[in-house]
Structure 1
Amino acid sequence: MPTASATYQPQTHYNSPPQHQQPQQQFRPDLYRQDSHHPYWPPHSDLHSGPELPPIISPSHSEPHQQRLSGDVFLPYIQLFFQHMFPIMPVLDRQVFLDASLYSDSSSMSSDMYCFLCAICATTVVQLDASIPQPSPLHPQKSTDDVFAEECLRERKTYDWIDSCTPLAVMVPFFLFCYYGNHEQSAKAWHYLQECITFSENLNMDDEQSYTKLDPVEAQWRRRLYWLLFITERAYAVQRRKHTRLHASVQLPAVFESEDPQLLTGFVNLANLFSAVDDSFVSAWRGSRRQSLCNEAWLAKTQKQLDAAALAVDSGGGVSETQQMDISVTREWLHVLAWQMGVSNGLIWGKGEGGMRLDYPIEVGRRVVEITRGAKGMALDSHGIGMEQKLSDIAGCLADVLRCTAGDTSSTFLEGKQYLHTLLQTLSSMRGKESRYLKPLMSKLDGVMGYELSNATLPLPAETAATSANMPPVTSAGNDFLMPGGGRYSFADSFGMLRTLSMSGNLGMPYLDAPIQQGPGLQNEWEQRRESGRVYDEYETKAMGHWMGGQRIP
């Protein structure tokens, strides 16, 4: 991911670094001062009930003075950011942001700097969540991430942030996006992501020629920032089935001229992976391409491109464990999405090329288990809600395949249950607690794993690798699957059920918005992130009757 340092200090003058050495900056405290006065906010005053979208027109500066947060509250969270999140968001310069003198007087900071620190601290708190101990709360009744986010939005009302078009200003809405994204408030998250992209376009960061006019070091920082936005937009647009605005139109940052070539190697690998998620992929995933354009050749090519883009990770590219988790799990997640497009377009077969087989999600599940097995907790947890979403997507798709092929006693499908069980165990302890996606995911599993949603713990599946050795060989010919009690699903039936789920937006793990509070003492209900207005017809309902346990689909 891009690193941000000079990017956020556009006035700073840099010396061109020698080859393989870290870009040097001259730290100038006056960069963080501003001439205009700020409203102040008395300590321990009531905060807003929740962050709100900023007004289109900046309000006047005549509001009563309010006091900013003390500068020393920021540094502990910035240190946590560098310790755990920097490998996936290397967009800050250590020399500047770990210098304690920066935080000596918050009243002398520019509004952009103050807002940026509030936004990144809010993201750090919510993204790491309960995975590690964090500093003492800033407010007795509010979570610390909300305090930081609200203070960022309050400060934004005191100056014309729209005209404050600097790389540092780009990062304010970016980290607000991260904050809202981790809270599953997708509308606000998308708003702030679009805002930071607009800022980047105003700075011509999507134009390769613009970099030739910059100091070489500043140009490198801006390249990192641009590619961070590119990666983030592609990932979030795919998750939410949105259009994309940024393209792979500028050169990647230089690896060997950076302060940390290993870190930049991981970032470039991730950028290459998302470069494979081109406009045709996004359009096909959104369902806006003609079916004839998403054909067998395109699907096979896409699956191969995803593997080739992250080849350096498989060949021991020397990236950090945190980056390896990001790249490898993301690649498998994209494989599953491409497979789902194949299901929607009738391109999945019982046998044949890997990415177009009916049991392909089982293979993906195996690879993800191998990737995550033995990984340090923080290597997964530092990615925040995004890692949980990708793992739950993969697990949900695997669960659907196992349900639509119920009764198949071949080793492949028995092993698939083991992989699903392992993924559920991983989700049962993410960021220091049970993932919010675990229970909605387990609601898919009745009759698949041998345990119910109400179970407090996850027992081992009834079938184990040991028992599979004693199973009789599969006697079905071709693509037929055995059914419990002697019944069968043909390949056509299994594929038809999967395609029905895919076309209705329910294949895999339905994304969730924030829980809907039903009142004191009542259990939360969940909204799907990708709602489907499609109603199953009578034929589809009848075909899926056995699979749904006799329950009709509304």
Structure 2
Amino acid sequence: MDTSFSLPPTRRTNQACDACKLRKVKCNGQAKCQQCSHLNLRCVYSAPKPRTKTLKRGKLIAQYKENTSGRNENSDSSPAQPSPSLIIHDAPFFTSFLDDYEASVYPVNPIMTVDDVLASIREMDQNAEAKTFVYAYTAITIALTNKSPDNSIDSQSQVRYWLEELIKARAAIAFDEKMSVRRVMISQFTHISLMCLANMDMSFYYVRESITMIQMLRIGHPEAMDKLNSNERARRQRLYWEVFIHERYLAISNYRPVVLPPLHDLPEFDPSIPPGVHEGFLQIIRLFRLIDEGFLANWFGTTTVTREWIDRKHKEIDEEPVGNEAHIGITPLSDMQQADLIVTKHWLRMLVWQMAMSKCLLSSVSSKESLSLSFPVRLSTQLRALMTRFSRQAIEIHGSGIQQKLFELTDTIANVIITVPASTVQETAGRVDDFTFLIGFLFSLPSFDPVQKEILQNKLEQLQSLFPYSASEAGASPAASDVTYASSSRPPQYDLPSPPSRIVWHEMAKKLSMAQPQEPPRSDSTRLIEGV
């Protein structure tokens, strides 16, 4: 009798699961293998693949979880967070933005009409360019109105989502591509949306892309433009000036070089667009046309700024009428148009003043406003009147561009208040009163840049240190930094913080005047330059 015995043969698995392969461990080949059960991994068997370079153990597990996260298998993992992709994106979804587009986007970008947008929505399933344009139109409308179609998702996340979808849908330019106005506006809307997301580098990239396509369209060349009917010719002229304005703005705000020269003429009248839109667009073109080669050369420091140039350019800006006062037509400009025009005009005046200041051309006793150290504080009174006259929405709708202008204006005003002594206590009180109102307005904007807010907050604290007082003892309203802003459902004018009363600022100004050195005002702007 044979009493010997042998161990049963070890079962060899024909195929290991994907996770065990990656980790190079033994797999028992079951539907849910022992290793995956132990680590709570999804057990998946895929077709054999060529061996790859071995990764570290921790990275292998992380990589496997990432690669299998989308598979349809029961899991204990938590559900994904809501995303824009969960919304049904059908024709009614895209047409729901048309009213906001017509009211808030088209008046300052009068190229693609509502009918043009509707035509793109109808053909977006058959045409890649149409689909890409619809995504761009959706992104810019959400960006400028700050409205999300799903209240559970913030508007900036929506803008990013549609820009990502735009990039996926956009087809490459073919060798024999014929450029179109719609394709240019895809790049232009992308540029503006990226500005609203504070991505200035990529925003610059897309405006340069717009310029390249405009040059391919040969806008401004008589032999090409004469072949078009009058409406299309006027539309392409507006397209050219649209991109010109944005390139000039980036040149000033981000120190970018320019390549697009101005056209010789303004856009022709186009009866297919509202007269008020046409007039408002002409006015903004005239303002940005003042940023000419001499202006840019002085701004970039490639030429020497002179008092004569400062005075001449300041007069040119002052003589350029804006708003309904300059519009003698039947249709008045909207508050949104007027706010943009007036702020832009003040911004240009401040830029010229800053160039004079940088070259120490200013004086506290100058009879010319453009060469006066106190010019910005006089401008603050006009800005306050503007913000009181128009609703917050009329200003906020222009996005990061107008907010950047208002920040630069307010920051410069603060530097002057802190650095340049006022001649009387009452004047000092008025200066600080206006400044507090301005920063209260900016702080009430939901999309105001946090870095810029911190800068202005520091300026406010400097003023508070110069004007030490007890608000509770004086019975004053809280400072702008202590205000809890009202919801957007209330009328805009009531969203603004109440500045401290003039009686309180009068007492604070007394303390400042006592602390100021008793020396005659300096004729140069050295101290102001240090504060800017």
Fold match by TM threshold 0.5: yes
Shift in CA distance, 119/259, structure 1 to aligned 2, threshold 3 Å: closer
Does the CA contact (< 8 Å) of 1:181 and 1:189 recur in 2?
A: yes
Q: Distance in 2 between matches of 1:486 and 1:379?
A: 40
Give per-residue Cα distances to partners, 1:487-542, cap 9 Å, x unaligned.
246533872122235xxxxx3xxxxxxxxxxxxxxxxxxxxxxxxxxxxxxxxxxx
Q: Distance in 1 between matches of 2:155 and 2:314?
A: 49
Does the CA contact (< 8 Å) of 1:299 and 1:342 recur in 2?
A: yes
The alignment status of 1:78 with 2:98, answered yes or no, reads: yes
Q: Distance in 2 between matches of 1:153 and 1:248?
A: 30
User: 390, 396, 421: which is aligned to 2:405?
Assistant: 390
Corresponding residue number in structure 2 for 1:411: 426
The alignment status of 1:117 with 2:134, answered yes or no, reads: yes
Shift in CA distance, 161/401, structure 1 to aligned 2, threshold 3 Å: farther
User: 320, 338, 341: which is aligned to 2:334?
Assistant: 320
Q: Between the two proteins, what is the percent identity of the paired residues?
A: 21
Corresponding residue SS for 2:268: coil
Does the CA contact (< 8 Å) of 1:128 and 1:382 recur in 2?
A: yes
Q: Distance in 2 between matches of 1:405 and 1:448?
A: 13
Higher mean displacement: 192-201 or 421-430: 421-430
Corresponding residue number in structure 2 for 1:304: 315
Q: Distance in 2 between matches of 1:199 and 1:90?
A: 18
TM-score between both structures, scaled by the size of structure 2: 0.71
Shift in CA distance, 137/176, structure 1 to aligned 2, threshold 3 Å: farther
In the TM superposition, 1:224-239 aligns within 5 A as 224-239=238-253
Please state how far the C-alpha of 1:408 moved relative to its aligned partner: 5.5
Give per-residue Cα distances to partners, 1:219-264, cap 9 Å, x unaligned.
0110111111111111221111222222222421233645311211
Shift in CA distance, 470/189, structure 1 to aligned 2, threshold 3 Å: closer
Please state how far the C-alpha of 1:394 moved relative to its aligned partner: 0.6
User: 275, 284, 294: which is aligned to 1:261?
Assistant: 275
- Structure 1: gaps of 5 or more residues: 1-41, 50-67, 475-481, 502-506, 508-554
User: 192, 203, 219: which is aligned to 2:233?
Assistant: 219
Corresponding residue number in structure 1 for 2:376: 361
Higher mean displacement: 81-90 or 311-320: 311-320
User: 346, 351, 361: which is aligned to 1:332?
Assistant: 346
Q: Distance in 1 between matches of 2:254 and 2:373?
A: 25
Corresponding residue number in structure 1 for 2:121: 103
Shift in CA distance, 230/466, structure 1 to aligned 2, threshold 3 Å: same
Corresponding residue SS for 2:373: coil
Does the CA contact (< 8 Å) of 1:121 and 1:148 recur in 2?
A: yes
Higher mean displacement: 213-222 or 457-466: 457-466
1:414 corresponds to which letter in structure 2?
A: A
Corresponding residue SS for 1:144: helix
Does the CA contact (< 8 Å) of 1:414 and 1:463 recur in 2?
A: no
Corresponding residue SS for 1:350: coil
Q: Distance in 2 between matches of 1:427 and 1:249?
A: 35
Please state how far the C-alpha of 1:375 moved relative to its aligned partner: 1.0
Q: Distance in 2 between matches of 1:409 and 1:321?
A: 36
Please state how far the C-alpha of 1:418 moved relative to its aligned partner: 1.6
Provide the aligned C-alpha RMSD in A. Answer: 3.4
The alignment status of 1:487 with 2:517, answered yes or no, reads: yes
Q: Distance in 2 between matches of 1:138 and 1:219?
A: 43
Please state how far the C-alpha of 1:446 moved relative to its aligned partner: 2.4
Q: Distance in 2 between matches of 1:405 and 1:187?
A: 36
Give per-residue Cα distances to partners, 1:181-239, cap 9 Å, x unaligned.
11111111111111101110111124355322212221011011111111111122111
Corresponding residue SS for 2:461: coil
1:497 corresponds to which letter in structure 2?
A: R
1:87 corresponds to which letter in structure 2?
A: P
Give per-residue Cα distances to partners, 1:268-326, cap 9 Å, x unaligned.
0110111111111112112222x2xx211111111111122235644455322111101
Q: Distance in 1 between matches of 2:95 and 2:169?
A: 19
Corresponding residue SS for 1:319: coil
Please state how far the C-alpha of 1:176 moved relative to its aligned partner: 1.1
1:112 corresponds to which letter in structure 2?
A: E
TM-score between both structures, scaled by the size of structure 1: 0.69
Corresponding residue SS for 1:448: helix
Corresponding residue number in structure 2 for 1:167: 181
Shift in CA distance, 469/314, structure 1 to aligned 2, threshold 3 Å: farther
Shift in CA distance, 401/194, structure 1 to aligned 2, threshold 3 Å: same
The alignment status of 1:464 with 2:502, answered yes or no, reads: yes
Does the CA contact (< 8 Å) of 2:142 and 2:155 recur in 1?
A: no
User: 80, 105, 112: which is aligned to 1:92?
Assistant: 112
Q: Distance in 2 between matches of 1:277 and 1:140?
A: 36
Q: Distance in 2 between matches of 1:184 and 1:405?
A: 33
Q: Distance in 1 between matches of 2:516 and 2:251?
A: 44
The alignment status of 1:149 with 2:168, answered yes or no, reads: no
In the TM superposition, 1:366-515 aligns within 5 A as 366-405=381-420, 409-430=424-445, 432=446, 436=450, 437-449=452-464, 450=467, 455=482, 464=502, 468=506, 484-488=514-518, 491-492=521-522, 495-501=525-531, 507=532
Shift in CA distance, 309/407, structure 1 to aligned 2, threshold 3 Å: closer
- Structure 2: gaps of 5 or more residues: 1-69, 73-79, 469-478, 485-495
User: 193, 202, 207: which is aligned to 2:216?
Assistant: 202
Shift in CA distance, 433/181, structure 1 to aligned 2, threshold 3 Å: closer
Does the CA contact (< 8 Å) of 1:407 and 1:484 recur in 2?
A: no
Corresponding residue SS for 1:243: coil
Q: Distance in 2 between matches of 1:141 and 1:273?
A: 31
Shift in CA distance, 237/151, structure 1 to aligned 2, threshold 3 Å: same
Please state how far the C-alpha of 1:447 moved relative to its aligned partner: 3.0
Corresponding residue SS for 1:254: coil
The alignment status of 1:283 with 2:297, answered yes or no, reads: yes
1:359 corresponds to which letter in structure 2?
A: S
Q: Distance in 1 between matches of 2:346 and 2:361?
A: 19
Does the CA contact (< 8 Å) of 1:208 and 1:249 recur in 2?
A: no
Q: Distance in 2 between matches of 1:247 and 1:359?
A: 34
- Higher Rg of the two aligned structures: 2
Higher mean displacement: 300-309 or 489-498: 489-498
1:103 corresponds to which letter in structure 2?
A: I
2:313 corresponds to which letter in structure 1?
A: T
Please state how far the C-alpha of 1:143 moved relative to its aligned partner: 2.1
Shift in CA distance, 411/241, structure 1 to aligned 2, threshold 3 Å: farther
Q: Distance in 2 between matches of 1:488 and 1:121?
A: 60
Does the CA contact (< 8 Å) of 1:88 and 1:322 recur in 2?
A: no
Q: Distance in 2 between matches of 1:273 and 1:93?
A: 24
Give per-residue Cα distances to partners, 1:404-426, cap 9 Å, x unaligned.
12575443332221211111121
Does the CA contact (< 8 Å) of 2:237 and 2:267 recur in 1?
A: yes
The alignment status of 1:128 with 2:141, answered yes or no, reads: no
Corresponding residue SS for 1:87: helix
1:385 corresponds to which letter in structure 2?
A: S
Corresponding residue number in structure 1 for 2:256: 242
Corresponding residue SS for 2:444: coil
Does the CA contact (< 8 Å) of 2:437 and 2:499 recur in 1?
A: no
